[in-house]
Chains A and B, each alone.
Chain A
Amino acid sequence: MAATSYIAETLGRRTNRGFFARLRGGDEISYLVTLASTVSILLIVGLIVFELWANSRPTFKAFGFGFLTSSAWDPNADKYGALPFIYGTCVTSFVGMLIAVPLGLAASIFLAEMAPPKLSNFLTFLIELLAAVPSVIYGLIGIFILVPAIRTYLVPPLKAAFGYLPIFEGTFYGLSFLSAGIVLSVMVVPFIISVSREVLMAVPVEQREAALALGATKWETTWDIVLPNASTGIFGSIFLALARALGETMAVTMVIGNAPRISASLLSPGYSIAAVIANEFAEANGDLYISSLIFMALVLFGLTIVINAVARIFIMTTQGKGI
């Protein structure tokens, strides 16, 4: 019974808790620390914007917005223009999306609508592993496997059939817009599949059942009912994938050829914003050189933020409950 009175005493003594006792209880500290962490994240984002902007100013002062439309890139002469890189970024991303979107959508339809649940979950698991493969590994496969394969198996028939088109002009040496576009498509497809599948699965069962009950086939239900229902969300997934493609660095750098040229032909080597930064930033000397690279990073940043912001809104409206 000695223990009982000990407990009663100890607990009883705590009835009137002063300031320090409450402090030890930790509520105020816990609240402040967690709030501070949250706010500091906002500060970090602000810092990112600030650093990018502040370090771009030398280039902005020297060239103004003309920087974005000029294709003069000559570090030795201290002349800089972003157009070849913007062009390359857009072209490779476009090619990548052109391949990835139909492929990804078709696969997501299969996984969401057609495949039995166990199979669907298993395959989705594997596809999500694909999204976890580091970019540099894709680059490795790209340089040594994909590019030779494209050169041997894809380009000859392409040139034979469509060689008269400007986009397929010229000799193909391997490193090119086309190769980069194809590698990008492989990297971006898992994202499209993953998000689209979730969006499709979020379409209420009742909608499908209504169509099936009227005698529609599985495909007709999917095409006429489910897809339109999920369309906003699917657009969202496409935008997310696009943002990813625009910022993709390593795999693109390794197969694009690193030539700051604008060419109509997909078979010619090119350059992208992320690639030029990756290649040249470490050795860049001179304020203008560095700030030009950073200005392009700012452009890339702005582009991906805007696309992501829009994409998320699309996805949120489909799912209704907010991210």
Chain B
Amino acid sequence: MATPQPQQPQTVNEPLTAPETKPAPPKTGSQCKLTARDINFFYGQFQALYGISLDIPANKVTAFIGPSGCGKSTFLRTMNRMNETLRNTRVEGDLKLDGQDLLGMDVTDVRRRVGMVFQKSNPFPKTIFDNVAYGLRVNGIKKSSVVAEAVERSLSHAALWTEVKDKLHKPASALSGGQQQRLCIARALAVEPEVLLLDEPCSALDPIATLKIEELLFQIKDITTIVIVTHNMQQAARLADFTGFFLLGKLIEIDDTKKIFQNPGKKETEDYVTGRFG
């Protein structure tokens, strides 16, 4: 368990090439759920992440922002080792979940404990109930009363229960885009993940659906830790307690959201959040 770090002074004009190793300062009293130290990531010969180090505090929302292709999604996928499903990838560095070595653990356990919601909703071609129940069943929980209760609970957390409680056994494909994404959130929540990773979950949705999802993310902070990648800075400003800015595979800065947007320490961060480049 990492101890709370004091805030370190930040120089404004540090050169872009020097890798950052400063961890994020967590709020007093909350612990660090997930810590990363010097994470390098390679697609074959190509290096996509350079020395990422940060702390994800428990029961808070941390957002990753940055222009396209800056590595924020890549890093997100490192946290639940989804990149291992691709060929020829390599991770270096240290990644700890509650102090345990995440890279050395059994990968299916990692993925159960660190859940993910994808950019494009991907409900299985099954019923709504079976979608939410899938994670439980696959992880060995089959008792129908337990499953049914878990399904209801997760759908409630995902603000979907009232809309689907009468059609749990209809196919998930019948739901609207926004509902499907909430279904995917419920599905991820059902296995009680300690961290929930969301990769631009609202990018394919209309503003109303987006609002519904942002609201529910606020609510579920209590039951899990949230890390969200977003290209929408306003969303980060609305949702996140902490925000990290990625650029060209490096973590430029990570801090309290207010500070990042109102008084960023690095020039690159300031340029980005003020819209000088997108």
Contact = CB atoms under 8 A, between A and B. Distances in A.
Check A-B contact in the complex, CB < 8 A.
Answer: yes
B141 A7 contact: yes
A16 interface: yes
Nearest to A22: B106
Interface in B135-154: 136, 139-141, 145-146, 149-150, 153
Contacts of A14: 109, 112, 139-140
A27 to B, nearest CB: 9
A11 B150 CA distance: 13
B191 interface: yes
Interface string B109-122: 10010000000000
Nearest to A24: B140
B5 interface: no
A7 B109 contact: no
Contacts of A17: 106, 108-109
| Chain A facing B: main interface SS | helix
Interface in A5-23: 6-8, 10-11, 14-17, 22
A3 B150 contact: yes
A7 to B, nearest CB: 6
| Chain B facing A: main interface SS | helix
A228 interface: no
Contact of B139 (A3, A6, A11, A16): A11
Contacts of B139: 10-11, 14
Nearest to A15: B109
Contact of A7 (B105, B106, B150): B150
Contacts of A3: 145-146, 149-150, 153
A263 to B, nearest CB: 61
Nearest to A13: B140
A8 B145 CA distance: 15
A55 to B, nearest CB: 45
Given A3-B150, A16-B106, A17-B109, A10 B140 contact: yes
Contacts of A10: 139-141
Contacts of A8: 192
B42 to A, nearest CB: 24
A6 B145 CA distance: 12
A38 interface: no
Interface residues of A, number: 13
Contacts of A4: 153, 192
Contacts of B149: 3
Interface string A218-235: 000000000000000000
B76 to A, nearest CB: 22
A14 B110 CA distance: 11
Nearest to B150: A7
Interface string B95-114: 00000000001101100100
A25 interface: yes
B140 A6 contact: no
Given A3-B146, A3-B149, A3-B150, A11 B192 contact: yes
Tell which of A7, A14, A25 has the most Cβ of chain B within 10 Å: A7
B137 to A, nearest CB: 12
A271 to B, nearest CB: 54
A77 B199 CA distance: 81
Nearest to A25: B108
A7 B146 contact: yes
B210 to A, nearest CB: 29
Contact of A6 (B109, B146, B191): B146
B106 A11 contact: no
Interface in B146-187: 146, 149-150, 153
A16 B105 CA distance: 8
Nearest to A6: B146
A12 to B, nearest CB: 9
Interface string B15-51: 0000000000000000000000000000000000000
23 contacts: A3-B146, A3-B150, A6-B146, A7-B136, A7-B146, A7-B150, A7-B191, A8-B192, A10-B139, A10-B141, A11-B112, A11-B139, A11-B140, A11-B141, A11-B191, A11-B192, A14-B109, A14-B112, A14-B139, A16-B106, A17-B106, A17-B108, A17-B109
Top 5 nearest A-B pairs (CB, nearest first) are A3-B149, A17-B106, A3-B146, A15-B109, A10-B141
Interface of A: 3-4, 6-8, 10-11, 14-17, 22, 25
Interface of B: 105-106, 108-109, 112, 136, 139-141, 145-146, 149-150, 153, 191-192
Given A3-B149, A6-B146, A7-B146, 8 more contacts: A3-B150, A7-B150, A11-B191, A14-B109, A14-B112, A15-B109, A17-B106, A25-B108
